[in-house]
């Protein structure tokens, strides 16, 4: 049997897809509470991925069911819990007290937004037929002049063909402002922001033959786009994040075929104020 990968191997693999950034949250968000912990020697049986901490995530990365002392007295061995590593895009509400002792939690926030949502997403651009070799990178956001927020490139598709691909990838749209299905799309902008300043590069490149792809619709952005005849598709912010989790999970399965990779798509648990108590029934795996 092929040896299970180590924490170090998974960390390096994730970093190759989501390059660390100086202003991003640390990749190692939660490290196992063990003085002898070594990422080079800790092995992984399963990897779970989600946008944020959810009930399903805690069921997979928690301590598991209570010890069955009756079985132990009868000489029966309780099944060993899988050695687990977790990836979260937005880990900020993680309750560390509910994370199992040997579980490592990795995260990427800014780099994930840049590379795996509706921003500088080369994989999505390729699906839409964009020539990524000649595409322009749009940079500058929230005081960071180097932050990549989008890609603008040439394409040769119809509006109907683009929408078909986007529905397959993201499901229902939050909003859309498009022409007929036969309208030619010559420029596609995949953007993580939707303001007048960000709309300008796409509008200059193609006018009504340009399509602006983003997450959340904004009234001001839609007004400017309509004024300039720009086509717009908004796929929803959460849908874009889920796409990134699916894409990362596929890469991990390909890179580590012997590891059980699980994806969790559900609502994040509400933030608990200090002093409040939360009671949840333990979930016992089948």
* 241 annotated ligand-binding residue: yes
Residue 147, phi then psi, degrees to nearest 5: -70, 125
Let me know: does 192 contact 168? Beta carbons within 8 Å: no
Reduced 3-state DSSP string for the chain = CCCCCEHHHHHHHHHHHCCCCCCCCCCEEECCCCCCCCCCCCECCEEEEECCCCHHHHHHHCCCCCCCHHHHHCCCCCCCCCCEEEEECCCCCCCHHHCCCCCEEEECCHHHHHHHCCCCCHHHHHHCCCCCCCCEEEEEECCEEEEEEEEEEEEEEEHHHHHHHHHHHHCCCCEEECCCCCCEEEEEEEECCCCHHHHHHHHHHHHHHEEEEECCCCHHHHHHHHHCCCEEEECCHHHHHHHHHHHHHHHHHHHCCCCEEEEECCCCCCCCCCCCCCCCCCCCCC
Residue 241 and residue 78: Cα distance in Å, rounded?
37
* 113 annotated ligand-binding residue: yes
Residues placed in the known binding site: 113, 237, 241
Residues placed in the known binding site for a divalent metal cation: 113, 237, 241
């Amino acid at each position: 049997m092929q040896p299970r990968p180590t924490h170090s191997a998974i960390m390096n693999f994730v970093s190759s897809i989501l390059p660390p950034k100086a202003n991003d949250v640390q990749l190692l968000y939660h490290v196992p509470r063990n003085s002898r912990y070594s990422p080079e020697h800790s092995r992984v049986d399963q990897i779970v991925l989600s946008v944020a901490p959810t009930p399903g995530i805690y069921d997979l990365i928690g301590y598991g069911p209570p010890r069955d002392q009756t079985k132990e007295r009868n000489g029966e061995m309780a099944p060993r819990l899988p050695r687990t590593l977790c990836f979260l895009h937005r880990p900020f509400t993680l309750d560390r007290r509910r994370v199992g002792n040997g579980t490592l939690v990795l995260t990427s926030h800014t780099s994930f937004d840049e590379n795996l949502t509706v921003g500088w997403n080369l994989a999505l651009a390729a699906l839409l037929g964009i020539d990524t070799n000649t595409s322009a990178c749009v940079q500058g956001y929230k005081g960071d002049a180097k932050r990549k927020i989008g890609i603008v490139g040439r394409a040769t598709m119809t509006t109907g063909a683009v929408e078909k691909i986007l529905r397959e990838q993201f499901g229902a749209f939050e909003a859309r402002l498009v022409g007929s299905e036969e309208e030619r799309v010559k420029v596609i902008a995949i953007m993580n922001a939707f303001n007048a300043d960000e709309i300008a590069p796409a509008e200059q490149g193609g006018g009504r033959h340009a399509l602006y792809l983003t997450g959340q619709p904004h009234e001001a952005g839609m007004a400017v786009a309509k004024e300039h005849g720009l086509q717009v598709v908004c796929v929803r912010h959460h849908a874009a994040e889920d796409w990134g989790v699916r894409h990362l999970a596929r890469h991990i399965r390909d890179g580590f075929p012997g590891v059980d990779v699980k994806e969790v798509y559900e609502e994040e648990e509400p933030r608990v104020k200090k002093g409040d108590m939360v009671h949840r029934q333990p979930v016992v795996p089948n």
